């Protein structure tokens, strides 16, 4: 009945170094899944997009903005949105594109996003790398709220062909995230973190947060995890317990 398409190459820096990886995985891969859905008469298709399709827009982000991606990753997600719209209108496949902000939460050890990356570095006693000044901002959303949005996109019947910003409407600098990480490291690991600043990377968006009025009105979406520090602590604890279990099982 439904395909929830979450698979993608997601590394902005890698997309600049080797854009073919993101084209083959994100553009061709999405087309292949849409075509399978069409041939097998699947009813619903939910596509994981990203606010990166908007590029260096002036936040808050919203669905009415002109899309101007500044990385091959952002372009690949925009292509996916365009194919979803085309398959909705041409073939009647109910497609919904969800522009996720920065996702975090338990069980995220397979992610390469900043929260998971920072925690993995801390767990291994390594320095966390902050690109540029660290003043760049992100809108962090808990995985439970992502699941809520996906569920609502599936069960709502009148949203075919639409795209939605899925976020918390909160802007947080990376430097503040690093300070929170230091607090949690002191609390759970009894040590301060080491951090270093590296050169900013091309294609990285400086300010990124979204308003979610459309998702609230059409999907009934409302993020339940508004207190980021609490969700971050839950995530940090999950990594700590995972490491303890791995050590026990050695």
pLDDT band at 63 (very low <50, low <70, confident <90, very high): very high
CA distance 34 to 91: 10
pLDDT of residue 67: 96
pLDDT of residue 136: 93
How far does Cα 39 stand from its chain's mean position? 29
pLDDT higher than threshold 80 for residue 203: no
Of the residues 31, 73, 188, 209, only one is catalytic, namely 73
Buried b (16+ CB within 10 A) or exposed e, 164-177: bbbbbbbbbebbeb
Q: Following CA atoms 4, 5, 7, 13 in sequence, which dihedral angle do they give, to the nearest 10 degrees?
A: -130
pLDDT of residue 87: 98
Helix axes 174-189, 114-123, angle to 10 degrees: 30
CA distance 66 to 68: 6
Greatest Cα-to-Cα distance within the chain, rounded to the nearest angstrom: 58
CA distance 33 to 24: 13
What percentage of the chain has pLDDT greater than the value 70?
100
Tens-place pLDDT, residues 108-167: 988 888 999 999 999 999 999 999 999 999 999 999 999 999 999 999 999 999 999 999
pLDDT higher than threshold 90 for residue 17: yes
pLDDT band at 173 (very low <50, low <70, confident <90, very high): very high
* pTM given for the model: 0.93
pLDDT of residue 234: 97
Examine the residue annotation and report whether 91 is marked as an active-site residue of this protein. no
Tokens representing 84?
A: 């979803």
The three-state (H, E, C) secondary structure of the chain, written as one string: CEEEECCCCCCHHHHHHCHHHHHHHHHHHHHHHHHHHHHCCCCEEEEEEEHHHHCCCCCCECCCCCCCCCCHHHHHHHHHHHHHHHHHHHHCCEEEEEEECEEECCCCCCCCCHHHHHHHHHHCCCCEEEECCCCCEECEEEHHHHHHHHHHHHHCCCCCCEEEEECCCCCEEHHHHHHHHHHHHHHHHCCCCCEEEECCCCCCCCCCCECCHHHHHHHCCCCCCCCHHHHHHHHHHHHHHHHHHHHHCC
Tens-place pLDDT, residues 188-202: 999 999 999 999 888
pLDDT, mean over the chain = 95
């Amino acid at each position: 009945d439904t395909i929830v398409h979450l698979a993608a190459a997601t590394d902005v820096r890698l997309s600049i170094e080797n854009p073919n990886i993101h084209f083959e995985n994100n553009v061709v891969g999405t087309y292949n899944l849409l075509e399978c859905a069409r041939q097998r008469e699947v009813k619903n298709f939910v596509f994981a997009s990203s606010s990166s399709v908007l590029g260096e827009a002036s936040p808050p982000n919203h669905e009415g903005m002109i899309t101007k991606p500044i990385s091959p990753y952002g372009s690949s997600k925009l292509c996916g949105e365009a194919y979803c719209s085309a398959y909705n209108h041409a073939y009647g496949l109910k497609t919904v594109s969800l522009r996720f902000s920065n996702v975090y939460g338990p069980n995220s050890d397979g992610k390469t996003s900043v929260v998971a990356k920072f925690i993995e570095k801390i767990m291994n006693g390594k320095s966390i790398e902050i690109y540029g000044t660290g003043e760049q901002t992100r809108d962090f959303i808990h995985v439970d709220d992502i699941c809520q949005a996906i569920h609502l996109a599936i069960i709502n019947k009148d949203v075919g062909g639409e795209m939605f910003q899925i976020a918390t409407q909160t802007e947080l600098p990376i430097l503040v995230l690093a300070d929170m990480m230091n607090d949690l490291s002191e609390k759970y690991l009894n040590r301060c973190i080491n951090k270093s600043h590296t050169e900013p990377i091309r294609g990285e968006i400086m300010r990124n947060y979204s308003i979610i009025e459309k998702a609230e009105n059409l999907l009934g979406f409302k993020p339940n995890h508004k207190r980021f520090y609490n969700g971050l602590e839950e995530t940090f604890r999950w990594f700590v317990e995972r490491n303890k279990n791995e050590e026990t099982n050695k």
